[in-house]
Amino acid sequence: MDIFTSIFYGVVQGLTEFLPISSSGHNVLLAKLFDIKAPSLSFDIFAHLGSMLAILFFFYRNFDNEKENLPETSLIIKISLLSWIPILLVGYFFRDFFDGSARELEIVSTSFVVSGIFISLHLFKQYKLKFFQIIFLMSVFQILAAFPGISRSGITIGIGLFFGLSPRRAVIISFLMSVPVIFLASSYDLYIILVNNKFDQNIYSIIISLLFSFFVSFLGIKLMLLIARNYNFKWFGIYNILIGIIILAFL
């Protein structure tokens, strides 16, 4: 993969990982739209690690400022330990489907629409549940994010808002839940690559994509917090639904 493409996918990964617009869905769509090679698994791993490093850096720098939006330490540990289980189980047992048929544009376009609906639910109705019940539902609904086109952050934030979390708290909890998911999924993929000796990217492409993913992811985190302050999630709902409908219309 050339330097320009490495930068391109690093920027796309960083921009879409924490905004409620699917990173994997946009990778599939942009690869087909511009007729460029979709990122390989080894490339994808390190682009995602750039996003994970960005969120860890954010919590390192801002943990004290976000204490009011974070649960107590024991609950943080429970969230970190439990939130990844549903989506990784589904990803493990149905990996071939999600790496193959699920990347067809018909499914990706439908997934964009579904993602837009979830991020918009709170605009029509809200229900109040206990905090741990909300966390459980956010973890379960993360399963849908295995589909390219369905945003993990969009699903988790949408569920959090729908069941009574404040916008900023929903965003912060979604950030927190992303760490174990990205880390464990990337670790498993890296293990598969090393076992099968299929590391197919040069070190320069990897470093470039990781750095761009890190910096743009950090900007995406800041942008999401700004959006949470102004409560403008409806525009992401509109964006996802429109892009899904447009893809379907041109198939």
**3-25 confidence digits (pLDDT tens):** 777 788 888 888 888 899 988 88
Going by pLDDT thresholds of 50, 70 and 90, the confidence category of residue 112 is very high
What pLDDT band is residue 135 in, cutting at 50, 70 and 90? confident
- Which range scores top for mean pLDDT: 12-21, 94-103, 115-124, 189-198? 115-124
* Confidence (pLDDT) at 70: 66
pLDDT band for 110, please (50, 70, 90 cuts): very high
Position 113 confidence tier, pLDDT thresholds 50, 70, 90: very high
pLDDT given for residue 43 in this prediction = 64
Between the CA of residue 167 and those of 145, 206, 243, what are the distances in Å? 20, 34, 24
Q: Is 40's pLDDT higher than 70?
A: no
DSSP string, the chain: --HHHHHHHHHHHHHHHTTTS-HHHHHHHHHHHTT-PPPPHHHHHHHHHHHHHHHHHHHHHHTGGGGGGS--HHHHHHHHHHTTHHHHHHHHHTHHHHHTGGGSHHHHHHHHHHHHHHHHGGGT------HHHHHHHHHHHGGGGGSTTS-HHHHHHHHHHHTT--HHHHHHHHHHHHHHHHHHHHHHHHHHHHHHT---S-HHHHHHHHHHHHHHHHHHHHHHHHHHHHT-THHHHHHHHHHHHHHHHH-
CA atoms within 13 A of residue 111's CA, in its CB half-sphere:
30
Residue 200 has pLDDT above 60, yes or no: no
Tell me the range of 43-47, 163-167, 190-194 where mean pLDDT is highest.
163-167
Q: pLDDT for 48-65, tens place per residue?
A: 888 999 999 988 888 777
What pLDDT sits at residue 218? 93
Burial 169-201 (b: 16+ CB within 10 A, else e): bbbbbbbbbbbbbbbebbeebbeebeeeeeeeb
User: What pLDDT is attached to residue 156?
Assistant: 93
Q: Give pLDDT, residue 190.
A: 73
Q: Tell me what pLDDT residue 155 has.
A: 93
